[in-house]
Amino acid sequence: MSAEMMCQLFEGQLSKYTNVMKGWQFRWFILDPNTGILSYYLNENERRQQPRGYVHLEAAVISPSDEDSNTFSVNSSSGESFKLRAQDARARQEWVNRLRAVSQLHASAAAQISPPLPSRDHMTLQKAGSSGLQSSNSLALWDAFSAVREHLFRAEQYNFLLIRATDELPTTGEFRNVDPDLLMLKASSQAMLTALNQCLFILHQQSQDVFSSTKSKSSKHDHSSHSKKKFH
């Protein structure tokens, strides 16, 4: 799917399973790649009003059903689930492809929210003018962040292999790619990695703020001491 198509809204009519009493009902769905949200409305005429419901697709699991060639499900990382049915097999495949692409796009963006750390050599040069203890603490902190980032990167690689292996399972038989436990495993693992990356980003920002504050206080103290010596 081209990048241009990814940036365009995709919409159309799907049947949504509500409950045992109401069964399947037609709804108008809109997929917004920019926000990563799949929303639905009562009908096409209400598409400019507030949606009847929506789901965030970041780290969501989209799976074709083995019930028939038209049905598929959308399972979000927050636990929400939509059971949907397209007009035919071709329409289902297009929806599944687009939904998966948007899900992976936003999951990758969230996982990479933390900016890359500067090199250790750069950190060493940057702290050359700092006190020995402050410089040592900064380098130790850099090493800790670097180690965590490396572990997260490896975890993301294993998670990718897990998702690919699960998606390649057949839709029928003892081990199916739509098994509820497997779907929950994929959604939970992706959500956990996203949360860990966001936590790392917050910790990195806080450490930078603390260092900047400490450096500022140290500079003011040195300036004050220098002024007193000059006065005396």
The pLDDT, as a whole number, for residue 133 is 46
What 8-state DSSP symbol labels residue 46? Answer: G
What CA–CA distance (Å, rounded) separates 25 from 159? Answer: 35
* CA within 13 Å, CB half, 214: 14
* CA within 13 Å, CB half, 65: 16
What CA–CA distance (Å, rounded) separates 111 from 169? Answer: 26
* Tens-place pLDDT, residues 134-153: 555 566 666 777 777 777 76
Helix (H) or strand (E) holding 56: strand 53-56
pLDDT surpassing 60 at residue 68: yes
pTM, entire model: 0.51
What CA–CA distance (Å, rounded) separates 24 from 206? Answer: 49
